[in-house]
């Protein structure tokens, strides 16, 4: 192998008549004056002697100067198969490499600093680096068996150098983006990243709109025993409206306005009304009562009629308190504006209350989970999580800021609050691009721009990076990019990463689970294959497999049918009554469907009778 054609300080062409070059593999160019630089193969070609006219004058994809130099270097274009590759130099050179310089493959020790920034016990083992398969035999023991692969439904041993991300470097290069279209392996890659963070006991706040982030079941029985691991004891799963919510008593007027605007945008008049009506320490009941009393006051023909009606309906309340409350209502009447303003507030408030967003326990469980260095997984619909995320992020980020600011000032902090990482899929819904009024965007923007100073970081996954807020996108220093097809998304990736045109061209055709990592931690784009997950998603089963699966209910129905055999398809009355007695209400069509399915499974047989039709019997 040797350098051919014209060279420069950034790229060279190499050729061989025996070695087939592989995308992303590393080579060493033996040019001692340049300290034997390392390069990465970014394009590969084969010049076939059986194609007519392959010579230095041929118009082919390979640089013509490369073809012209092959003959002068002793290659026989008319009789030999010649393999060529474009190589990107991975170090900074100040003058070109010599044409004709020998090229060889490295051993692991020669490229270790390029490939690894930390060890598996101190970093996140996310997969293997593509193109390093030839280095597997020379890997030291600590770097083996840390990233088994999942291919075609089977677990395969690790081949290549593991890709280990130094998460501590996020202190200098904060925030991670995980991009990829449907079926690209994005969600699988996000799961692997979360698993590694859980292993390191990094406190996580995970917003889970798909109800898939559970980590208590082994992914595959074929995983090596020393790799199998689940994380049920390190996770806390909460559902908004059931297990966690917003404590109304802790809300400020700005908090309540944000929650109301998440239901539907609010006007300036509504903001002013909320600010006037909400009093410190209000519960949902007291605020809602005051709001309804104000609406009644505005609907009343005159103030005197309302006063008489109010005083008569509140005989059990001390007279002085009634008068003070009435005076408060009269003062508020002058501040809150139109009745329509209050009705709009009331409609939004009641919708939030019906969704269960207001809970007495508030976010206490989330706080305790983070302090225990667990992964707190908050589930809910996209709409609910967008409403809730703004409040939760503002509260938790505020606690972390107060703690860090106290330390910086040399003051005694009232409460220790740990650093944490915010993780969410469908990030473009939480921080969308454009003019959409989404309260969570403001909080995510602030964390993206200033969170590093306080130890709060983001991991944002999305299928559509072009729909993600520009400010947030620009702050994602590390981007893990899986198969992406849309031109708008490819343009954003081209602008926001250091990926070259060769990698961008490959993005629409990447196999699932294969991607590129663009990060200043490495200083270049790294091609990776994500390792096998340790745990499985509830949505891992192919939904079409459900059509062939008999669940517990189906099994009970089929057992009852077998007990009633033989049965006549034209007279199923006895079987229907037996099923109803056991709690199964089925139509005749459904029962026939069960019978035919059992025939297909070989459990029973069907016989045709010219008089009564089909008769079903035990096989």
The backbone region for 595, taken as left when phi is positive above 0, alpha when psi lies in -120 to 50, beta otherwise, is alpha
Sign for the CA dihedral angle at 20, 26, 28, 34 comes to positive
- DSSP letter at 602 equals T
Q: Which of 74-78, 260-264, 410-414, 457-461 has the lowest mean pLDDT?
A: 74-78
Is there a contact between 568 and 588 (Cβ–Cβ < 8 Å)? no
Q: Tokens for 17?
A: 């008549």
Q: What is the pLDDT of residue 53?
A: 47
Q: Judge whether residue 94 has pLDDT over 60.
A: yes
Q: Mean pLDDT over all residues of the chain? A: 87
State how far the Cα of 111 lies from the Cα of 129, in Å rounded to an integer.
12
Q: What is the pLDDT of residues 552-580, one digit of tens each?
A: 888 899 999 999 999 998 888 889 989 99
Q: How confident is the model at residue 472 (pLDDT cuts 50, 70, 90)?
A: very high
406-420 average pLDDT score: 85
**In sequence order, what are the beta bridge partners of 608?**
614
State how far the Cα of 487 lies from the Cα of 470, in Å rounded to an integer.
17
Q: Judge whether residue 54 has pLDDT over 60.
A: no
Q: Does the annotation place 534 within a ligand binding site?
A: no
Distances (CA, A) of 248 to 252, 265, 292, 343: 9, 20, 17, 20
Sign for the CA dihedral angle at 280, 282, 288, 292 comes to negative
Q: Judge whether residue 231 has pLDDT over 80.
A: yes
Q: Does the annotation place 518 within a ligand binding site?
A: no
Q: What is the pLDDT of residues 119-156, one digit of tens each?
A: 999 999 999 999 899 898 889 998 989 999 999 889 99
Q: What is the pLDDT of residue 56?
A: 46
Q: How confident is the model at residue 50 (pLDDT cuts 50, 70, 90)?
A: low
Say which residues have a Cβ less than 8 Å from residue 432's Cβ, sequence separation at least 6: 438, 441, 467, 468, 469
Share of the chain above pLDDT 70, in %: 94
State how far the Cα of 21 lies from the Cα of 105, in Å rounded to an integer.
11
Q: Where are the beta strands (DSSP E) in 497-612?
A: 514-519, 524-530, 567-568, 604-609
Supply the angle between the helices 253-263 and 439-454 in degrees, to the nearest 10: 130
Is there a contact between 229 and 353 (Cβ–Cβ < 8 Å)? no
Q: Does the annotation place 416 within a ligand binding site?
A: no
**Closest listed residue to residue 420, CA positions, set 366, 384, 373, 479:** 373
Say which residues have a Cβ less than 8 Å from residue 530's Cβ, sequence separation at least 6: 126, 127, 185, 188, 189, 192, 513, 514, 515
State how far the Cα of 222 lies from the Cα of 150, in Å rounded to an integer.
10
Fold designation for 167-245+360-530: Rossmann fold (3.40.50)
User: Residue 53 class from Cβ within 10 Å (0-12 exposed, 13-18 middle, 19+ buried)?
Assistant: exposed
Q: Does the annotation place 86 within a ligand binding site?
A: no
CB atoms within 10 A of CB 584: 15
With tokens 């034209």, the residue in question is 570
The separation between the first and the last C-alpha atoms of the chain, rounded to the nearest angstrom, is 69
Q: What is the pLDDT of residue 274?
A: 92
Q: Which residue ranges make up each domain of the chain?
A: 2-106, 167-245+360-530, 248-354, 543-618
Q: Does the annotation place 187 within a ligand binding site?
A: yes
Sign for the CA dihedral angle at 109, 113, 116, 121 comes to positive
Q: How confident is the model at residue 498 (pLDDT cuts 50, 70, 90)?
A: confident
State how far the Cα of 135 lies from the Cα of 223, in Å rounded to an integer.
23
455-480 average pLDDT score: 93
Q: Does the annotation place 185 within a ligand binding site?
A: yes
Q: Any idea which architecture 543-618 has in CATH?
A: Orthogonal Bundle (1.10)
Q: Does the annotation place 386 within a ligand binding site?
A: no
Is there a contact between 207 and 424 (Cβ–Cβ < 8 Å)? yes
225-234 average pLDDT score: 91
Q: Does the annotation place 513 within a ligand binding site?
A: no
Q: How far is CA 349 from the centre of its chain?
A: 31
Cis ω for the linkage preceding 231 (within 30 of 0)? no
Q: What is the pLDDT of residue 278?
A: 92
Q: Which of 224-238, 269-283, 347-361 has the lowest mean pLDDT?
A: 347-361
């Amino acid at each position: 192998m040797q350098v051919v054609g014209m060279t420069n300080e950034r790229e060279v062409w190499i050729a061989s008549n025996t070695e087939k070059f592989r995308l992303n593999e590393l080579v060493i160019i033996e040019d001692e004056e340049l300290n034997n630089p390392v390069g990465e193969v970014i394009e590969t070609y084969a010049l076939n002697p059986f194609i007519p006219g392959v010579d230095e004058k041929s118009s082919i994809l390979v640089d013509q100067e490369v073809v012209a130099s092959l003959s002068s270097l002793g290659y026989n274009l008319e009789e030999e198969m010649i393999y060529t590759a474009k190589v990107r130099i991975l170090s900074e050179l100040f003058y070109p490499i010599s044409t004709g310089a020998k090229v060889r493959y490295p051993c692991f020790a020669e490229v270790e600093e390029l490939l690894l920034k930390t060890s598996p016990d101190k970093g996140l083992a996310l997969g293997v680096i593509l193109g390093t398969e030839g280095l597997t035999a020379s890997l030291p023991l600590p770097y083996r068996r840390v990233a088994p692969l999942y291919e075609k439904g089977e677990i395969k041993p690790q081949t290549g150098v593991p890709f280990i991300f130094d998460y501590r470097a996020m202190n200098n290069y904060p925030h991670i983006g995980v991009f990829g279209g449907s079926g690209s392996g994005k969600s699988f890659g996000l799961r692997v990243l979360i698993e590694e963070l859980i292993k390191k006991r990094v406190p996580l706040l995970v917003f889970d709109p798909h109800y898939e982030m559970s980590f208590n079941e082994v992914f595959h029985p074929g995983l090596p025993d020393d790799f199998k691991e689940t994380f049920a004891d390190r996770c806390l799963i909460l559902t908004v409206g059931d297990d966690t919510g917003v404590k109304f008593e802790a809300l400020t007027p700005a908090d309540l306005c944000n929650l109301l605007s998440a239901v539907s945008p609010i006007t300036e008049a509504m903001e002013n009304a909320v600010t006037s009506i909400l009093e410190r320490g209000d519960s949902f009941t007291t605020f809602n009562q005051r709001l309804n009393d104000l609406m009644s006051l505005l609907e009343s023909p005159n103030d005197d009629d309302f006063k008489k009606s109010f005083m008569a309906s509140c005989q059990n309340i001390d007279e002085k308190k009634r008068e003070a409350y009435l005076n408060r209502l009269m003062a508020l009447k002058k501040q809150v504006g139109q009745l329509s303003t209050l009705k709009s507030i009331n409609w939004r408030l009641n919708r939030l209350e019906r969704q269960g967003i207001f809970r007495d326990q508030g976010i206490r469980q989330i706080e305790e989970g983070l302090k225990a260095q667990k992964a707190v997984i908050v589930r809910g619909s996209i709409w609910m999580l967008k409403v809730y995320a703004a409040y939760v992020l503002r509260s938790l980020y505020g606690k972390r800021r107060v703690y860090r600011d106290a330390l910086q000032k040399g003051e005694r902090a009232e409460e220790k609050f740990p650093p944490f990482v915010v993780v969410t899929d469908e990030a473009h819904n939480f921080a969308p691009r454009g003019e959409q009024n989404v309260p969570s965007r403001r909080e995510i923007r602030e964390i993206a721009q200033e969170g590093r100073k306080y130890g709060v970081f983001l991991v944002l996954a999305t299928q559509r990076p072009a729909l993600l807020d520009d400010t947030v996108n620009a702050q994602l220093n590390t981007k893990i990019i899986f198969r992406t097809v849309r031109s708008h998304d490819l343009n954003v990736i081209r602008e926001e990463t250091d990926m070259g045109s060769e990698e961008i061209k490959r993005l629409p055709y990447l196999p699932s689970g294969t991607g590129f990592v663009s990060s200043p931690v490495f200083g270049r784009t790294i091609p990776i294959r994500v390792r096998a997950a340790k745990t499985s998603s509830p949505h891992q089963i192919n939904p079409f497999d459900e059509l062939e699966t008999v669940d517990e209910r189906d099994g009970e129905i089929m057992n009852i049918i077998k007990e009633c055999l033989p049965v006549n398809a034209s007279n199923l009355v006895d079987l229907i009554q037996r099923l109803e007695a056991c709690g199964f209400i089925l139509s005749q069509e459904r029962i026939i469907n069960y019978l035919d399915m059992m025939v297909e499974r070989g459990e029973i047989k069907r016989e045709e009778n010219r008089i009564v039709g089909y008769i079903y019997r035990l096989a």
